[in-house]
Structure 1
């Protein structure tokens, strides 16, 4: 669904994690004695490394098992430090080897790159071995000499995860948990709750945001609606969501905001409808009659506005309000100069009693008529 706001982490620094007595203290591929001869492993994690690995996992949308596998592997291999040395040519937080195709030394020493490579491989392997524990999944990626060490590091890995995990609380947390938490359509949080436009708050998740105000409570926005919402001014322009995304006509979706409705179908993408066009669109049958918007509202002639829908074009000016033009009258109107020649519609299309089955629509400069026998034509006012 998907342009998000940049995540900002606010994580308290915890006490140092001691090396002594911790399961998995020795790297899986080499003993501490051998390792210390060339490259000592610090006794404590590097908080910046754990944060980076966590963020990469969130961006990739990894499962809870894969995330745990990454932290187990990171603790076992380096105590979650970006080591510049290791057994043979092993490097970095996961002790990946350039000679084994993990990347160049420079790439592997980039924690984001190393974590992305680990998680990509874990995501590839996970569906092939769905019953494996997180530790054995880590071993499928690392291919170490000592597979059991990863599961032995589970408690420490969970402690580090708790340290970096983002909190979700209040009404936003209540909404998120009711949606299914990490298993919901929007996934896990990627930042802590943030101030939004005056009076509101928002929090980013892997595949969506949840917005909150005291008056409207908390509602998620995600998918193409979120992308369009973010790219066209977000809550600063459109206000906060009033309801959750809902099913519309013919397989489409819609969501109400304080200033607009956003409509979406797989064929049309997502667009906002607002102002008098929205008011009259809603009063005249909404998407059930007019279909979904094909574009954002745009400038027309002489200060007016228009918006194309699947079943017509809605025109607005301050002089005339908003009305739809459709069918044969629309085709004739468009082919003979549109609003530049005929002005804006003053009323909706209606019955014309001049001929059997006739219809008519009055514009600022012309009146259009239609009959089944003759089609559409216009007469200057």
Structure 2
């Protein structure tokens, strides 16, 4: 086992001079630690694989890794951020890089990938990103992702005019040119969580074009907007704080105003009226027998489904509409008595005030457009 002295010598920090020298030294140290920590788990087949197999996008907000993998992710996040800090890039650049590396490799320095892709960002030697050895150097890989005047030749983040005002997934895609351009936004929550654990300031100011010579485009004062992000997969939903309140039980006593022929609780009927006034042009259905799901709130008159017109994963307008309905519902939940909301593969609870991945509750297929609630927003009341 390595002693603290051995590890310090392996990292080279004691003799490192300058920010980038230290970052490079840490990179070599982390490669060593990856081997050490993953050795007990066997060969590559036992390691956590890349974020997505060839030909398929990664999952949104997968369960957060723990143990050795999380340690590795945090360490590589610090290396990536160290490169950004040494250049003078803003924290936003680090966030885009972390989201990209999570989607491409689960923030692992992989020796394999789709075709000849390797490394944290799954960069390809055949596309001009460098040699395999270079790409698997995490400092080099981060430098290449951020781009600028130094080789390699593919454009990096700072070479993209206006990247700082784009939705994060669009900025990532401008560098990566992936077959799944919307996938990167799915990793924002995970990236922020890792950054927090790593002590990275994602709100750090900086020059978004640091490392690029010549006249820089005027930085945009506007960050990626919720509306723009909602047009991509993964953005646009808000969290909040737990919502306290006492909501006494109610009986079904009001005819369903959505025309199902069933009966709703007064609280649910009042929510329907408010939603129709605030959001307008809603396609909504509330009461339903739901014989296949005896625990459903629909036959109890305590739930409504708001249809968005299409699978939000395939339609930007449907995604935007669903986000608007969900966010309004959360913002008014403290006065309307909303208990939980399910939309776009996530479930929000008034008890926690947070979104988390939705697993189908043992009844629905969460990958299906309806089962995963990608084509409608479900609202349940107390």
Instruction: Provide the TM-score with structure 2 as the length reference.
Output: 0.34
Query: Which structure has the highest strand share of the two?
Result: 1
| Structure with greater contact order relative to length (CA < 8 Å, sep ≥ 6) | 2
Instruction: Provide the TM-score with structure 1 as the length reference.
Output: 0.34
Rg comparison, structure with higher value = 1
